[in-house]
C-alpha cells in the first residue's frame, strides 16, 4: 500500500487509522446531506460540525483532511443554486476549496487567515482566481494576534461588499475554531463571542445557510464555540 499512500499524501499529518473510511463517510456525507436539505427547502440552516475539512484536494489528503466535504456540499448546492458563497474563518487558508473552484464564476471563495510562514502557505492577496473564476477568489491574509474588534472591522465591510456584488443564493461558512485565542496551533485572539458575531452577521442575510466545523486544537474552546 505504500506507493498508493504516497501518491495520495496519506501518512505524516494524515495517517491511516481504524475507522478512517467510516469517518470520511460521516464527514462528507453530513455536508452532502446538509446541502440536500437546503436544496429541498427542508431547512434554512444546516450544520455539520464533523465537516469543514478544507485542506483536502481532489487527489491529495492534507492538513488532517482526507475528503473535502465542503467541496462536495457546494457541488450539491450548485445543482439548485446559480451562485454559492463560501466563507472561511479558520486560522488556516481554505486552500482545498479555493483550488476546486478557482476557475468558475459560480462559487466565490472568501478566506480570512494567517499568512506567511504558516500552513498551508497559500492565500496571497494576489491569488484572485483564473479564467472565468478571475476575481472570484478573495483572500484576506492577516497578522498574528487579531482580536474581535480588528477582525470585525475587516470581516463586516468585506462580506457586505461581497454579498452586494456577488449576490449568492446560498452560503457556506467554515467555522474553524483554531482562530480562537489560546488555540494550540492558532495565533489569533478571537473570543467565542467574536467568532459568533461572524456567524450572526452572515445569518442575517436570510439565505440558505450551511455551517461546517474545521480546525480547533484546544478542545474546550472548540466545544464552547460550536455549542
Give the integer Cα–Cα distance in Å for 154 and 141.
11
Angle formed by the axes of helices 148-166 and 192-203, nearest 10°:
20
- Residues 53, 57, 60: CA angle, nearest 5 degrees: 110
Assign 57 to helix, strand or coil. Answer: strand
Q: Catalytic annotation on 113? A: no
Contacts of 18 (CB under 8 A, 6+ apart): none
Q: Which three cell numbers stand for residue 226?
A: 460550536
E strand or H helix that includes residue 47: strand 45-48
In the block, residue with C-alpha cell 486544537? 217
Residues 112, 155: Cα–Cα separation, whole Å:
8
Residues labelled as active-site residues: 55
Amino acid at each position: 500500500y505504500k506507493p498508493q499512500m504516497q501518491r495520495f499524501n496519506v501518512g505524516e499529518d494524515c495517517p491511516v487509522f481504524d475507522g478512517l473510511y467510516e469517518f470520511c463517510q460521516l464527514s462528507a456525507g453530513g455536508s452532502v446531506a446538509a446541502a440536500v436539505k437546503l436544496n429541498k427547502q427542508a431547512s434554512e440552516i444546516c450544520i455539520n460540525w464533523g465537516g469543514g475539512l478544507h485542506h483536502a484536494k481532489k487527489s491529495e489528503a492534507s492538513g488532517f483532511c482526507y475528503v473535502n466535504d465542503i467541496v462536495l456540499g457546494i457541488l450539491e448546492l450548485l445543482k439548485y443554486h446559480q451562485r454559492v458563497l463560501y466563507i472561511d474563518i479558520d486560522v488556516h487558508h481554505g486552500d482545498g476549496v479555493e483550488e476546486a473552484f478557482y476557475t468558475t464564476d459560480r462559487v466565490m471563495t472568501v478566506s480570512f487567515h494567517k499568512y506567511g510562514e504558516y500552513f498551508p502557505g497559500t492565500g496571497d492577496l494576489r491569488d484572485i482566481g483564473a479564467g472565468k473564476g478571475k476575481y472570484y477568489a478573495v483572500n484576506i491574509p492577516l497578522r498574528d494576534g487579531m482580536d474581535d474588534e480588528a477582525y470585525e472591522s475587516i470581516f463586516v465591510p468585506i462580506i457586505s461588499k461581497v454579498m452586494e456584488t456577488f449576490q449568492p443564493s446560498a452560503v457556506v461558512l467554515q467555522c474553524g475554531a483554531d482562530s480562537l485565542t489560546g488555540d494550540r496551533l492558532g495565533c489569533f485572539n478571537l473570543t467565542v463571542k467574536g467568532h459568533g458575531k461572524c456567524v450572526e452577521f452572515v445569518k442575517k442575510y436570510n439565505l440558505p445557510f450551511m455551517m461546517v466545523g474545521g480546525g480547533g486544537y484546544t478542545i474546550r474552546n472548540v466545544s464552547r464555540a460550536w455549542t
